[in-house]
Amino acid sequence: MARSFDGVAERFRAAIEREHVVGTVAAEDRERRVAEDNAARDALIADLRALAGSLGVVAVTEVEGGIAWRLGEREVRFVASEPGRLAVTWREVRSFQGQLYRERALGDRWVLIVGRPPLEDRVPLLDAGVERLLVAGLGLPAPDDAATTPDGEVEHEAQVDPEEATEVMDAQPTRSNRRL
């Protein structure tokens, strides 16, 4: 090769090497994230199994790729789908399908999706999502707003005064109350 092309060849070799390194690092990051997601999914399945067991009325059975909660004729299934995701199905009047996934923007918290775009509903698994699965999926009664202290006394959640809530909402600029 003529000496005049040596500089060009060097620059291209360096660019190819950089691209190879970047691609290798990205592939390693993807593999690491998939492994983390799958470990988190397995931990969630164990937590869901433990939750059902702690309720005392929900049976847990192994199904291919996951578990099922059962109560009488009702069933909620949690089956591994993509890395870090669980397909969720349950039947009541009609069949529902959803998905559990880790939301990166929420610090990898688990989120339940029910429905299909654009009408899908997304709720954090703890506590609203779990409650929805237990109430809608298995037909358990919804818990009330009262909580029992270790002493056995009943505490009620603080009630919001509608007048105060309206004042706070009116003070926040929103599309509907913002002046142009």
Q: Which residue has the higher pLDDT, 157 or 59?
A: 59
Half-sphere exposure of 45 (CA within 13 A, CB side): 24
Between CA 138 and CA 135 the distance in angstroms is 6
Examine residue 145 and say whether the peptide bond preceding it is cis (omega within 30 degrees of 0): no
Position 24 scores a pLDDT of: 79
Write the pLDDT tens digit of every residue in 63-114. Answer: 998 999 999 889 999 999 888 889 998 876 456 788 999 988 888 899 999 8
Between CA 140 and CA 54 the distance in angstroms is 14
| Residue 130 CB neighbours (<10 A) | 18
Position 145 scores a pLDDT of: 57
Question: What is the per-residue burial (b if ≥16 Cβ within 10 Å, else e) of 133-162?
Answer: bbebbbebeeeeeeeeeeeeeeeeeeeeee
pTM of the model: 0.66
Write the pLDDT tens digit of every residue in 110-162. Answer: 999 987 777 788 889 988 889 988 988 888 888 875 454 444 444 544 444 44
Give backbone dihedrals phi and psi of 132, rounded to 5 degrees, phi first: -65, -40
Listed by start position, the domains of the chain span 3-137
131 by Cβ neighbours in 10 Å (0-12 / 13-18 / 19+) ranks as middle
Which band of pLDDT confidence, cut at 50, 70 and 90, is reported for residue 42?
very high
